[in-house]
Each structure stands twice: as C-alpha cells, then as structure tokens.
Structure 1
Amino acid sequence: MILLEDQEKDDLEELKNQNHEDKLQFEENQTKRTRAMMDYYSKLQDFHNDSERAEGTRKRKSKSNASNVAVLTIGAAAAEDSVPNDKSAAVGDKSPAAGPPRRLWVKNRSKDWWDQCNSPDFPEEEFKKAFRMGKGTFELICNELSSVVAKENTMLRDAVPVRQRVAVCIWRLATGEPLRLVSKKFGLGISTCHKLVLEVCSAIRNVLMPKYLRWPDEDNVRRIKEEFESISGIPNVVGSMYTTHIPIIAPKISVAAYFNRRHTERNQKTSYSITVQGVVDPRGVFSDVCIGYPGSMPDDQVLEKSTLFQRANAGFYQGVWIVGGSGYPLMDWVLVPYTQQHLTWTQHAFNEKIGDIQKIAKDSFARLKGRWGCLQKRTEVKLQDLPVVLGACCVLHNICEMRNEDLDPTVEFELFDDEMVPEIGLRSANAMKARDTIAHNLLHHNHAGTSY
C-alpha cells in the first residue's frame, strides 16, 4: 500500500510538471502568434497608407492637368498671343501651357468671292447681277434683320456675320444653285448654308412680311382704285389676281395631289408642283398671297381655300372688285372676262380692258420668277419648308418693286398660263348684271378699245 501511494504521488507530480510545461509551451506559442499578427497588421496598415498617399497624388495631378486644359480652352486667344516665336523654345518646353489652344476643327474654305462682293469697291452692276438688287436695298434688308439673325461668337468658333448670312440666303434664292455651289461661293459648309437659308427666310417672314406684304389701308385703296381706273376705265378695282405653279420633287405622300397635268403635257416629263396665288396693286406689289396648295388643284379651288375668300365671305370686299382670269368664277367681288365662244363687241371690248389689269398680275409673277431663280426649277428644300421660302421670295420681290429695282433682261422669265375654266363659272346673278353694266359703260363712254 505504501509503495502504491508513493507511485501515485510520483505520477501526480509528473503529470503536474507535464501540465506546467504544456502551459508554458502554449503561452509561448500564443505570444509568437500574437507578435506575428501584430507585425502583419502593421505591414498591412503601412501598405494602405502608401496606397492612399499614391491615390491622393494621382488625383492632384489629374486636377492640375484638367485645370491647365480649361485655362487653355477659355483663354485661347490669350494663349495664341503668348506662344513664343522661337521654335526651339516651343519644342523644349513640355508644360501644357506652351501647347496650342484647343479649338473646334473647321475645314478651311475660300471666301474670296464673298470678300470681293462685300468690298465697298465692288461694282454696283456686278452686285446687282449676283443678288438681283442694289447695295442700298441689300443694306436695308440687313439692317431690318440684324437683330433677329445675328449670332454671338463662341469659344470654339466665330459666328457668321449678318451680311454674309443674308447674302447666302438671297444668292441662293436668286440663282437657285444647289447648296454645294453656295458652299463654295461663301466658304461655308453645305449644312450651314442650308440652315442659314431657312433661318433668314423665316426672319423675313416674321419681321419683313407684316411691313412689306399687307392689304392696303383706306388711303392706299383709294389711290389703287384711281390707278386701276386710269389704266382700264373700270371703277372700284383694288387688285389683280393670278395663280402660278412652282415645280417640286415628287413628294413621298399624296403624290397624285401634287401631279401637274398641264406641266407634264407641255414638258413631256412627269411634273409635280405647288400653287402660289397672289393679288397685286398697279405697281405689281403683292398685297395678298396664298402659298402651298397641291398642283392638281384648279385656280377656283385654291381661291375657295384661301384667307382672301374667307375675308370676302365676311364682307371685307363689299363694293370693290378683284380682277381675275378665266380660271376664276364670277362672284360679287371677283371680276372675270367673258368666256363664251361668240362675244359681242361690248363683251370683247370689256375683255380687252380687263386683260390689261390681269396682265399686271401676270407680269408681276413673271418678274417674281425671273428675279428668284429658285422658283423656276425643282428645289432641294423640303415640302414643309417651301411656304416659308416662297413667302420670303414674295416679300423680297415687294421690296425690290417698291424701291424700283430694275430686273436684268437676261433673267426675264416667260410665264405659261395654267388656267382652267372652273366647273361653275357664274356664282352670282348680281355680279353678272354688274359686269354687263361695266362693259356697257366702257363702250359708251369711249373707254373701250377698237382693236376688234
């Protein structure tokens, strides 16, 4: 028993010593692991600090570069002036400020022709041949439109001057040349020229049309009546009316409506058109226009859809006449010639006198088409933009007529009649009686001619 007890004590002591050694070993290992983890954490922290410093340095460099580029772009003109002339110095300097300023790339085009036309020494006759008007009239139009069409210069490019903008539009309308030739003449891009033409035409419609194309007031109506009566002997005439056709490219929709049978038969080529109805005074100045109805529509239908007809129904033209051709019906306010085959002497004499009035409108349209060559051939302008362009042509025509701008004989245009006798030529019995009375008075008051 004593031996067993001693053996047990020895075993317990040995176990106790073993446990103490294991504990010391564990604590030592734990200390090593803790120290290793602390070293790893310290290195990781240093790595993150280095990364943050590197990122901050990169961002500061990016901001500095962006600032330099912005300064170069905004101060382009100043940078151009400050670039040194010494090539070796420019090559050796690597700083961003020494480089050329950033500008929008623009193709270099020659503006020699326009610069010559814009020169004060350019001959008046040559200017008039190019733009269908003198320098004074051109200057007037530029001054009237300046506040509307002028544009501000930008950092990237200089705006096209007002005179050049107006010149692009007028030369395009006058010659009818394609946009690629307009581009070469004025040193501008094709799309820029197209945009300028539409912008200036829109400005003419909004600014100049209310001033230069309007129905006359009472004083002018009185003067117009007297002038027409002195021409024909027919009293109370306030306007001469005519409808012409402007050729267009075949539209993508409603093709049949724009088909022009008369032009197709005459030209032996399928033709499409839109109509322009106009009323002029004794000088050939338009006082009313109606633009844009399809070319297949006869004159009487165009008249019925116009604002002129609506004002007449409201009683605006009571007691006065607007003279039209055989394509219009006889109404209480529309006076037309006799159209039957066998005319009496009185009727024939009346037709001669009313023909003198009708000729004023026809000649005015001939000058309109002669002056603005874009009206003589199919244009590149889209169908929806044509009324604005044609309206601008009518306004510019009025300005030229009012300022007595002579038309060059080389651009005179021969106008073909497209009149068709309306289905219902007589719309008013009272108008028929009034026409017979006028014809009788012409003959018996020695106003009628004797060329029958």
Structure 2
Amino acid sequence: MEITSVPFLNQDEYSYFYSFFQNFDNDTENSANKRRKTDDFSEENNSLDEFLDILNDNEIPTSSLHIPGSETEVNNLDFESRVDLEQGRVRKSRKSSPVAFHGGETTGEGGGQRRRLWVKERSKGWWKYHNSDECPDDEFRKAFRMSKATFNMICDELDSVVTKKNTMLRMAIPVRQRVAVCIYRLATGDPLRTVSTLFGLGISTCHKLVLEVCAAIRTVLMPKYLQWPDEERIKKIKTAFASISGISNVGGSVYTTHVSIIAPKTNQEVFYNKKHTQRNQKPSYSTTVQGLVDPSGVFTDVCIGYPGSMSDEQILEKSALSQRSKMGQMKNVWVVGNSGYPLKDWILVPYTHQNLTWGQHTFNHKVNELQKISKDAFMRLKGRWGCLQKRMEVKLQELPMVLGACCVLHNICEIYNEEMDVELMFDLHDDEMELENGRGISVNALQARDSIAHNLLHFNHGK
C-alpha cells in the first residue's frame, strides 16, 4: 500500500497563504461593515436617498404569473419590498392573492392563504355564440348537423349520465357543452386542437369528453333509437319495401362500408385494405360497419369493428343477422344485399352471370333500387359525421363505441327529419366486393329467387 506524505510549508509559501487569507478577512469585514451600515440606518441619520441607493445595489427580484386570456391578472410569487424604518432593515413579505380558489372562494381573516388549482383560462366565445339565441338555427345546423331542438332533446336524454358535480377545485363543465364537444368532433372530424380552441377547453379534456359522451349515447340512446324492429314495425317495413320494388316480405337492405384507421401496432395485415391501398397508392387500413336499414334509411341492426381485410360474406357470417337466422327469427323475411353477399334462404342478391333473361334483368333492377336505399343511408352517415371520412385516431378497442354513436346519431337525424346540405353528401369508394364463387348456395334459395323474378316480370308489381 502506498502512503503519500504532505510536506510542511516553507517560509515563502506560508507568507503567500497568510497574505491571501488576510485579504479574504478584509473583504469579509467590508461586507459586514456594509450590512452594519444598513442596519444602523436610523442611528447614523443617513438620508432616505442614501438608503435607497443601498437597496438599488441589492435588488430584490419581483416575479408575477400572468394567465393569458384571463379577465384578471393573478399574481403568484408576488413579493414587495417593505422598509421597516423603526427596525432599520429590509423585509420581503408575500402579498396575499386576491383570489384563492377557482369559483370565487377567498381566504378568511387569520386563516392564511389557501392553495388554488391554477386553470388556464381560454376563450369560449365561439361556443357561447352558438349556445345563445343569437345564433340562427341554420348556422347551428352547419356546425352540429342537427337543429337546436334535436340537440336539446339529446342533452335532456343524456343529462342524468353526463352531468358532473362541482368540486372545491373547479366548476364542472355543463352538460350542453360536453355533448356539443362530442357532436362537433364527430360531425366535422376537426383536430382536437381546433375543438379545444373553439370550446375553450384543454385538448385532453376534449378527447375525454368525446369518449364519455359516446359511451353515454351507447348506454342511453342506442336501446331507444337503434333496435331490432318488433312484429308491428316489421309489417310496416315489408309494406313500404313492397311498394318500392314489388318484392314481398323484404325486411331490410344491408350494406357494408369501410372506415380508415391508423395502422395498428399489432396484426396490421388483418386490417390491411387492398382496394383502398390501390386507390390511394399507399398502405391503407380500415375497419368495417355493416348496417341493415329500413325504407327511410334508419339502421335497425349494425355490426361494427371487424377488420378491413374481411369480405362482406365473412362479416355477415359473424354478425347478429346470421345468428338470428339460425335461431329462426328470419322466417318470412328477406334481406336484400349486393353481389358481395351470398344468396341464402333469407338473403336476396342480384344475378351476376351474363346473358340475363328479361325476368332476371327486372329482378336485378328492383334489387338495385332497394340497395340504393342502404347505400344512400351510408352516404348520409359519412356525410353528416365527417370523422368517418378521415383516418380514425382512437384506439381499436374504442372504435366500436365511437362508430356506434355515429350510427345512433344518424338514426336520430333521420327520425327527426333533419335536413342535410347537398355539399355534405359523400361518395362511397371501393366498398363493394365481389363474391368469390357462389359456393354453398341452396337449391331452395335459387328456386325462390327465380320465382320472384318470374312474378316481377309477369305481374308487374310496384315500380
């Protein structure tokens, strides 16, 4: 082990260090004298100007927190310099803030200053205008795709579920503003940053409100406005479809659309959409929405969330419609689909082979008229709710809830006869798929379709 010794200082080195510390002591003494001069201000009868010069040499910083957009400037960490002439010294003390709590609470006497939750104030001018009587109904409809009366009805329905209580820290966001944030986001598809600016809320708050209101729509409004029809309504639907096409016992028209999504982190190949990729010239991913509509374009059944790589036939097989047919609920009920669906005992699809007969050609024409009803319903669905025209930015597990809310809101607009601007109409692209080989078609289904085609040609039912 090595040991290092420290030699003693010689006379020259000792003199050097002695002079160094002597100078250091002199500086310290000067500083002490300077402080003593300040403390003994009253005794030495120095003028006030001389004392202020001393303060200027020892500046005390003052900092204030200003909240942009706030009506009042709240000083935080705001100190003032107080001169106690009797004690002859400078003190720094905290000013009491004029506002203690969000919501107007102030501190009591002797209670000291209480902490406050700082909330960034944002402008709510746009929302206040649209929420006032000054905003015309047409302008309100452009922003929210529905009239004020329909919007008020939705708020009343969701009030018990969406309402939050005020707390000591902050005031709760009103129900109307919560619902408006969700509907506006779904209607326009604007970025959350834009929604945040318009409604005067934080970005994360807006995102949270959209999910909360969509969940409330699914819980409260879906059982009322999107449900399988009962027997009485089925009869009315059959009668309406028969008057349009001349085909009896039609209970609905089915269609499947694709909604673009951001490439998922896992199982990307499952959501890969070949047609959209070819059209966009870049990899595209999607999820699906299958819907059954009545003659007025209202959804009576939806199947949401299956990957975009699945065919219409595969989605139909996994949907509730197939389950109902297996349980015997589709007896004497036809569902009309396009050529992407298989011909079944309860599904009518057009003829796809060449050299059609007159009866088959007539049948295809009538089926296309019924298919147009469901396709137009999906065009209005995507036209009203612009978020469906863009890539959805929510998580996969949250997609069915958001898409389901769009379908429910579509039904409400259709039931209450909400007008839709022509420029909002959206053209569906590459949603229809051709069925790969007509395998598994029953003889009864072929015979039933031929019989309907024969009757349409010879008995001229309806249009």
Normalising TM by the smaller chain, what interval?
0.7 to 0.9
Classify 1:139/1:448 alpha carbon distance in 2 versus 1 (closer, same or farther; 3 Å).
closer
CA offset at residue 423 of structure 1? 2.8
* Greater helix proportion: 1
8 Å Cα contact 1:323-1:354 kept in structure 2: yes
Classify 1:432/1:120 alpha carbon distance in 2 versus 1 (closer, same or farther; 3 Å).
same
Structure 1 partner of 2:74:
none
Structure 2 partner of 1:394:
407
Name the TM-score, length of structure 1 as normaliser. 0.78
SS in 1 for 2:116: coil
Question: Does residue 442 in structure 1 map to residue 462 in structure 2?
Answer: no
Structure 2 partner of 1:180:
193
- Pairing partner for 1:140 from 142, 153, 157: 153
For each residue in 1:277-301, what CA deviation from the matched residue of structure 2 results, as whole angstroms up to 9, or x when unmatched? 0000000000000000000000000
8 Å Cα contact 1:275-1:295 kept in structure 2: yes
Q: Percent of counterpart pairs with the same letter? A: 65
8 Å Cα contact 2:196-2:203 kept in structure 1: yes
8 Å Cα contact 1:246-1:276 kept in structure 2: yes
Structure 1 partner of 2:447:
433
How many residues matched? 365
8 Å Cα contact 1:350-1:448 kept in structure 2: no
CA offset at residue 381 of structure 1? 1.0
8 Å Cα contact 2:244-2:462 kept in structure 1: no
CA offset at residue 78 of structure 1? 4.8
C-alpha distance in structure 1 between counterparts of 2:205 and 2:104, whole Å: 25
The one-letter amino acid of 2:190's match is E
The one-letter amino acid of 1:169's match is C
CA offset at residue 394 of structure 1? 0.1
- Pairing partner for 1:409 from 414, 422, 425: 422
C-alpha distance in structure 2 between counterparts of 1:214 and 1:357, whole Å: 20
SS in 1 for 2:106: helix
C-alpha distance in structure 2 between counterparts of 1:355 and 1:217, whole Å: 26
Q: RMSD between aligned alpha carbons? A: 1.8
Which blocks of at least 5 consecutive residues in structure 2 are unaligned?
1-95
For each residue in 1:332-377, what CA deviation from the matched residue of structure 2 results, as whole angstroms up to 9, or x when unmatched? 1111110112211110110000100000000000000000000001
Question: Does residue 126 in structure 1 map to residue 139 in structure 2?
Answer: yes
- Pairing partner for 2:312 from 279, 296, 299: 299
C-alpha distance in structure 1 between counterparts of 2:250 and 2:103, whole Å: 65
CA offset at residue 73 of structure 1? 7.2
Classify 1:274/1:155 alpha carbon distance in 2 versus 1 (closer, same or farther; 3 Å).
same
Structure 2 partner of 1:24:
none
The one-letter amino acid of 2:316's match is L
SS in 2 for 1:79: coil
SS in 2 for 1:234: coil
C-alpha distance in structure 2 between counterparts of 1:171 and 1:394, whole Å: 15
8 Å Cα contact 1:325-1:337 kept in structure 2: yes
Structure 2 partner of 1:79:
106
8 Å Cα contact 1:353-1:448 kept in structure 2: no
For each residue in 1:107-165, what CA deviation from the matched residue of structure 2 results, as whole angstroms up to 9, or x when unmatched? 11110000000002211000000000000000000000000000000000001000000
Which piece of structure 1 moves more, 149-158 or 102-111? 102-111
Structure 2 partner of 1:277:
290
CA offset at residue 75 of structure 1? 11
Structure 1 partner of 2:369:
356
8 Å Cα contact 2:312-2:341 kept in structure 1: yes
Classify 1:397/1:76 alpha carbon distance in 2 versus 1 (closer, same or farther; 3 Å).
closer
C-alpha distance in structure 2 between counterparts of 1:167 and 1:260, whole Å: 33
- Pairing partner for 2:237 from 224, 249, 269: 224
CA offset at residue 317 of structure 1? 0.2
C-alpha distance in structure 2 between counterparts of 1:417 and 1:76, whole Å: 53
Structure 2 partner of 1:11:
none
For each residue in 1:299-330, what CA deviation from the matched residue of structure 2 results, as whole angstroms up to 9, or x when unmatched? 00000011111111111101110100100000
Structure 1 partner of 2:219:
206
8 Å Cα contact 1:201-1:392 kept in structure 2: yes
CA offset at residue 416 of structure 1? 2.2
Structure 1 partner of 2:270:
257
Runs (4 or more) in structure 1 with deviation over 6 Å come to 72-76
Name the TM-score, length of structure 2 as normaliser. 0.76
The structure number with the bigger radius of gyration is 1
C-alpha distance in structure 2 between counterparts of 1:192 and 1:78, whole Å: 24
Question: Does residue 195 in structure 1 map to residue 222 in structure 2?
Answer: no
CA offset at residue 74 of structure 1? 8.6
Classify 1:121/1:358 alpha carbon distance in 2 versus 1 (closer, same or farther; 3 Å).
same
8 Å Cα contact 2:292-2:299 kept in structure 1: yes
CA offset at residue 408 of structure 1? 1.1
Structure 2 partner of 1:110:
123
The one-letter amino acid of 2:275's match is R
Matches within 5 A, 1:146-157: 146-157=159-170
C-alpha distance in structure 2 between counterparts of 1:403 and 1:118, whole Å: 21
8 Å Cα contact 2:228-2:300 kept in structure 1: yes
Classify 1:76/1:393 alpha carbon distance in 2 versus 1 (closer, same or farther; 3 Å).
closer
- Pairing partner for 1:365 from 359, 362, 378: 378
C-alpha distance in structure 1 between counterparts of 2:214 and 2:101, whole Å: 34
Which blocks of at least 5 consecutive residues in structure 1 are unaligned?
1-68, 83-94
